[in-house]
Amino acid sequence: MHRIVHFDLKGAPLQVQYFEKIQLVQTIGHLEFVLKHPAYHSLRELPRSPAVLCPSKPEALQLVKMMLEQVLDVQLDAAFVHIGADEHINLGS
């Protein structure tokens, strides 16, 4: 049985060898790092907030797929990926 434990290392390298690394890719909330850019403003759930992606827009799915592909291209041995999908309080607003 596997035990999943969350370590928020803020980019620090994992020093313990017996843990499996699972990449976190934010997919709905916490997307300020993307949605703050003018090219992606149209993908916001709320025009005034860069935090949440509007999942009903086809371009939003394309963006999420692109981000996941970029991460998985770097970590070819990934068995799992954490898609975040939390703190989406503004969905449907």
Active-site annotation, residues: 87
Handedness of CA 25, 29, 34, 39 (dihedral sign): positive
Is the CB of residue 33 less than 8 Å from the CB of residue 43? no
* CA 85 – CA 3 distance, rounded (Å): 21
DSSP-based three-state secondary structure for 53: strand
21's torsion region: left (phi>0), alpha (psi -120 to 50) or beta? Answer: beta
